[in-house]
A and B are shown apart, each in its own frame.
Chain A
Amino acid sequence: MSGSTTRKIAALSVAALFTAGCLSEGGGGGGGGGGGGDTSDGEVEILGAFGGAEGEAFEASLVDFEEESGIDVTYVPSTDFTTEISARVTGNNAPDIAIFPQPGLLLDIASTSDMAPLEDVVDIDALKETLVPGLAESTELDGSTYGVPMRMAVKSVVWTPAPEFADAGYAAPTSTSELTELADTIRDSGTAPWCIGIESGPAIGWVATDWIEEYVLRVGGEDFYNDWARHEVPFNDPIVVEAAETFAEIAFTEGNVFGGRDSIASSGFGNAGNPMFEDPPQCFMHRQANFITTGDFFPAEVTADLDNQVSVFQLPPVDGGAAEGNSVLLGGDWATIFNAEDEEVVEVLEFLASDQFGGPWAQIGGWLSPHTTFDDSQYLDETTRAIAGFAVDSDTVGVDGSDQMPGEVGAGSFWRGMTAWISGQQDLQSVLDDIENTWPED
């Protein structure tokens, strides 16, 4: 082989080596996000936390929009969203739009990167007029908003097996004392009133944090709740102790929970409620967010005939609590923008944030609009409409506190502490003190 030929081949192949990795690079990700890629190329990449059937439903909700606008939206699901969004922002490879399942993480990233406030790109005030109050506010930092809700989850739902619940003559309670009476009646009849499970693999404990938040909201009221979630009052405030004790009365009273207190930490949250549907029911009440009707959590014959098989009521207010009227605890997914210079990206964000988004997803199920003006006839069944009503009609609204807290607490010591308390490894006060101590200093 002559010298010059070798050199040519060498030059080509070395060039190939350095570009080979990029050959199948696709979907706008390469354009060095973080506000870098300013060209409108007709493509928008969205990174979100939900995969599987939910991801498909999300894509289905964008089909009409894509056709009308001519924008090609690529949705990338990432089950380890927290890790991946951190990596991509650090790696200067942010997506055009990211949909955060937690406002806390969103604000953490907003405060450490150069994200643009959404006020610069969309009319936040106009959105707030139709949004369920509190949802957009949970992504505010120093007077600027960094996320708009794309989906809402209602957590304050108590599920019951409709036929048996009615046959036994039980009625939905409207206050905590009525709830306690109902539980006592059921327990006296020889069945455990509640089914509770908080096991969730690496995320074990989150279900218990929801319970505590429900009662912090009801006992302390909306303002206290928001201060608590943002650590403007100590985590272990006496009101939190009172709230946790209210939950303890439900969960730790002998005979109140199917399988007993010991089983709570080992029961998977997804199937914990299923003993309700056995014949005869092993329990009559299960508190869980609206997502529980999706996937394979409830038995297939229940989800196929939801309106007849289950009835729902809203977790009632605490007698003498500071909350006004009915209270609802919400979760959600918040969309934010990393590439605000691209008009097409802004257009997609505006659509996601509007009350026009989500019709097809509503018809598939598992999605609730965060807008009070959403046309609720599009929901799949009466049960879903009732649950959406809980959010729209409540006077007191709280957004999932653990989702707003820093990772150390919201996805760390709070989960761990609740697990340790419920499984009897540690007493309540020391758990709450420990969580307070893990709150990072700014």
Chain B
Amino acid sequence: MTTSSPALGTTGTPEGQPAAERRAAPPAAEHGKASQLARGQANWAVKSFLLVLCLVWMVPLIGLLVTSFRDPDDANTTGWWTVFADPFGSWTTENYSTVVQGTMGPAFLNSFVLTIPATIIPILIAAFAAYAFTFMRFRGRDFLFILIVGLLVVPNQVALVPLLQIYADAGLVGTFFSVWLAHTGFGMPLAIFILRGYMQTLPRSIIESASVDGAGHFTTFWRLIVPMSIPALAAFAIFQFLWVWNDLLVAKLFLGSGENEPVTIALQSLLGTQGQGWQLITAGAFITMSVPLLVFITLQRFFVRGLTAGSVKG
């Protein structure tokens, strides 16, 4: 990360630097090369330690991948690593084809319908709130923000049953709307926390000059703050996307099985009463994982940038 980000380049703020440091330090361009402990100075001990660690990290995943291409009888009788002794032995794509022919297709679509709004809506709402907490003065501001910081640690479980009863009275159980709303509520404290942390690092002078030019808060928000906050927005988006996509419990309670079920539920319903068909789960798990992995890989660079700017402060 030696180059400054495009989004931040315009502001001249070095990313992820301690706040106190930043005020004193010269702008990024004159700052020279960003720090580097010792690039390329790894000795064999460091290299082999990391190699072993990476291998250990990969082993369980490789096990799953291999098993997903094996015949259930084989998977039941021999360890997955035995395939490496006989790499041209019996492989099968049957698990995948069975999974794809089942309810996974529509469930995939449902997962997107569920996840996209459940990611964007909280970001939108939190961005407005974070903007107000950062750039506007109003009564109760600090109290409200501290309350939100405190609520970061309240477990979501407390809300499940009371919400179910509220939704029941409103006739919302089984609708996507109910799940969007739930994830929006649950994700709100973290979203506000991250976004406000980031917005604080944006230079106030820009907002002030916009105000002089006659732009209202609403315009400033859309035209200036949102584009400048892209890294933080993306960072939270990854968090929220991973959480919503992988969620089973909220979907199970508020959406339920059937026509609207997301992949997490569809994956489970591949099983019979006594767990018949577990080998399909291995294939299904890989298909399910592909989307969050893709999202993560594409948005990875924002992740670090967005989160650290807010949190790395002295």
Contact = CB atoms under 8 A, between A and B. Distances in A.
A and B touching (Cβ–Cβ under 8 A): yes
Interface of A: 17-18, 20-27, 29-30, 32, 45, 47, 49-55, 74, 76-80, 83-84, 87-88, 90-93, 101, 200-201, 269-271, 274, 291, 294-297, 299-300, 366
Interface in B246-275: 252-254, 256-260, 265, 268-275
B268 A76 contact: no
B240 interface: no
B73 A299 contact: yes
Name which of A79, A200, A299 has the most chain B CB atoms within 10 A of its CB. A79
B178 A21 contact: yes
A144 B160 CA distance: 33
Given A53-B272, A54-B272, A90-B161, A20 B256 contact: no
B174 A50 contact: no
B180 A21 contact: yes
A78 B269 contact: yes
Interface stretch (B37-45, B162-170, B294-302): B162-170
7 contacts: A21-B180, A45-B258, A49-B273, A53-B272, A53-B277, A90-B165, A295-B275
B257 A84 contact: yes
Closest 6 pairs between A and B when the two form their complex, measured CB to CB: A21-B177, A295-B276, A91-B173, A21-B175, A92-B168, A51-B269
A18 B176 CA distance: 10
Nearest to B121: A17
B87 interface: no
B72 A296 contact: yes
B177 A47 contact: no
Nearest to B176: A21
A292 to B, nearest CB: 8
B164 A90 contact: yes
A422 to B, nearest CB: 19
A51 B268 contact: yes
B232 interface: no
A291 B277 CA distance: 13
Interface string B111-128: 001000000000000000
B68 interface: no
Nearest to A278: B77
B252 A87 contact: yes
B129 interface: no
Nearest to A206: B274
Given A87-B253, A296-B76, A20 B277 contact: no
A80 B265 CA distance: 9
A200 B161 CA distance: 28
Given A20-B177, A21-B176, A51-B271, A76 B73 contact: no
A77 B171 contact: no
B73 A296 contact: yes
A91 B164 contact: yes
A80 B272 contact: no
B28 interface: no
Interface string B128-171: 00000000000000000000000000000000010011011101
A77 B258 CA distance: 7
B265 to A, nearest CB: 8
The bracket for how many chain B residues form the interface is 35 or more
Given A21-B178, A27-B259, 20 more contacts: A20-B177, A21-B179, A30-B174, A32-B171, A47-B258, A50-B272, A52-B277, A53-B277, A77-B257, A77-B269, A79-B269, A84-B256, A91-B165, A91-B253, A92-B171, A101-B273, A200-B275, A270-B276, A271-B76, A295-B276
Contacts of A24: 113, 176, 259-260
Contacts of A295: 272, 274-277
Contacts of A90: 161, 164-165, 168
A25 B175 CA distance: 6
A93 B276 contact: no
Nearest to A302: B73
B199 interface: no
B87 to A, nearest CB: 23
Given A76-B257, A200-B275, A93 B173 contact: yes
Contacts of A54: 272-273, 276
Nearest to A87: B253
B174 A25 contact: yes
A295 B265 CA distance: 20
Contacts of B260: 24-26
Contact of B168 (A25, A47, A49, A93): A93
Given A76-B258, A299-B73, A88 B173 contact: yes
A52 B271 contact: yes
A54 B276 CA distance: 9
A92 B173 contact: yes
Contacts of A50: 272-273
B279 interface: yes
Nearest to A76: B258
Contacts of A296: 72-73, 76, 276-279
Name which of A54, A74, A87 has the most chain B CB atoms within 10 A of its CB. A87
B280 interface: yes
Contacts of B174: 25, 29-30, 88, 91, 93
Contacts of A291: 272-274, 276
B287 interface: no
Contacts of B178: 21
B125 to A, nearest CB: 12
Given A79-B269, A92-B168, A93-B168, A29 B76 contact: no
A270 B168 contact: no
B159 to A, nearest CB: 13
B172 interface: yes
A78 B279 contact: no
Given A50-B272, A54-B273, A74-B258, A80 B173 contact: no
A55 B269 contact: yes
A92 to B, nearest CB: 4
Name which of B175, B258, B277 has the most chain A CB atoms within 10 A of its CB. B258
A273 to B, nearest CB: 12
Contact of A80 (B172, B175, B252, B258): B252
B164 A87 contact: yes
A39 B249 CA distance: 32
A26 B273 contact: no
Contacts of A78: 256-257, 265, 269
Interface in B165-212: 165, 167-169, 171-180
A242 to B, nearest CB: 29
Name which of B72, B161, B176, B256 has the most chain A CB atoms within 10 A of its CB. B256
